Chains A and B, each alone.
Chain A
Amino acid sequence: MRDYFKYFDKLTFFLLLLLPVIGIFLIYSAGHSTQETNYLKQAAWLLFSILAFFMVFSMKIDFIFRKAFAVYLGLIILLALQIVMGVTVARTKSWFRFWGIGLQFSEFVKVPLALFLAKTLTQFERIDGRIFFKLIAIIVIPVALIILQPDMGVSFIICAFIPLLILLKKVKPAVLIVSVLLVASSGFIGWHSVLKPYQKGRIISFLNPAAYKSSTGYHIIQSKIAIGSGGLNGKGYLQGSQSKYQFLPARHTDFIVSVIGEEFGFINTSILFFIFFFIFYRQFRFNFQNDEEFYFVYLFNGLILFQFMVNVAMAIGFFPVLGISLPFVSYGGSSLLSFFIGEAIIFRIKINNYLA
């Protein structure tokens, strides 16, 4: 037990806790003018997530990997059920009311999928065509179900596994070419048949926000105004006019970076980014007992990094607005819980490595 405490990565864990704490303050500020109590819910979710963290942390790694497929399958069934009888929340059925608590199952796919993919990756030397399709199938089934919810953001994030797989494993050149073609064609099909007009609007407006001043381009413009007007030191906590007077859309979720940018300024935003940088740095760099652990850590960290990049890029107009939250910081209990579970596994892998 003493060893566990000694080798536990306390600094990273502290920083990891700091992120949702900062998040709760920002969520409070974002909902202050409209008297929303999201920050309280998020605080409760944080406590629950810490609890879950240590539950998962106490499990054996082999057990976790063994059960990954079952959890993956169970979630797919839940997602399918949800489409049939889901509750519609703000145009999407992705929220499931469960004893009065909103659950977003799509968020929970991230961890078991990463585990299952990592496990699968250990079973061959090189990605050839057959394996590639198998991997794609593993990813596409939940993605398709999540698209149907519809939850563009999460499905888009999960797709980040595809390039990660290619980066992590040797790939037959032909597969690469096919996959590029696949991305192009699925993009084409997606644009013409899957995406709803409002979703398309978001994507187009990112290219030329000024032309969409009154609709979706508005979000990007207001976010940039919020961030830019914060300046070096920010306007002060609860003093951001863009946030306070509701010019900033989805302030507690997608545009939470704009709230910190506006109220705390460049210096503090940079500090937040540095916390992220430090966590990523620490979670990428350690020894692994086997390749299964390695694949999981890189897949899951890669996923968080990708979501972080997309969210921040979105807030400054470098990426279309897709409804993607800032990991650990944005409001959203399911997302927080899912990330903490994933992190618990990484912490477990890390400590196993020291104790071995």
Chain B
Amino acid sequence: MRRNWIVGAVAVLLLSACVQTATVRRIVEDSNRAVAEEAFLERMDGPVTFDGKEALLERVREIEAYLGRAPRRPRTTAALRIRQGVLLVRAGEFARARMAFGEAQPASLVTERDRVLHAASGVWVWWNEIEAAGDVPPPSRRSYEAKLRALDRALEREAPRNLVLREFFEGLRVQIVVDKLRAHADPASEAGRAALLAEWKAARSRYRSIFDEKDWRWIELWAEKEPPPGTEAHDLWAERIAEIPLERLRAYDAAPRTLELLDDTLEELNLTPPERSIP
């Protein structure tokens, strides 16, 4: 009898206090699913849908509701604010995204991902806003340069070691450089051509440097044309493909595309790249 009474009391007390973890885990899973469905899966078959945006905003509201009622723990709050910012960027709510990132206290951010996202959020939100704005005149040359400097500072300060994360932001940097060159570079003059080529080379060199030799072997393998199924070559290829580290695959896939973007841009500016970045 005594035992039952005590066990019951302990059990009731324990079980009454186990809601936060489950809620946060659900928020993480649901928000990831919303972004993935909108960014990866939907896009496989068509453009982003209105429902996709609604799903993103619903997750934003869930985070807000949780933060409103949960006990204040700075690290939890900061991490969820970053997540909220990411969702809002994806949903095209750029002003609110800036607010969300702004509310995340840097001192409470404890992972390299959140720290670099926070540090680079100004540039990232700006860039997404530019691209979402549609066919409008490009920012000024000075504006591009200011944002690139800000991004460089953020990446220098936080220096993420995770390859996918580094590629994410270095790829963002390449996008900005490309857009700047397309918007403002004019190779009509000798000086213009020289400046253009120098900036182009710097951007390419910087981007390539985030991958080491081992990474390049994987990149080349992933970019290799698939041999005809049923052949010995195909079996060998498939066997090697299966060994690619999946957690880096996204970066490996992006590398040749990003370098090709740089090469194409140079050609479309009437210049020939010194050599193609990917043979």
Chain A bound to chain B: no
Chain A residues at the B interface, C-beta cutoff of 8 Å: none
Chain B residues at the A interface, C-beta cutoff of 8 Å: none
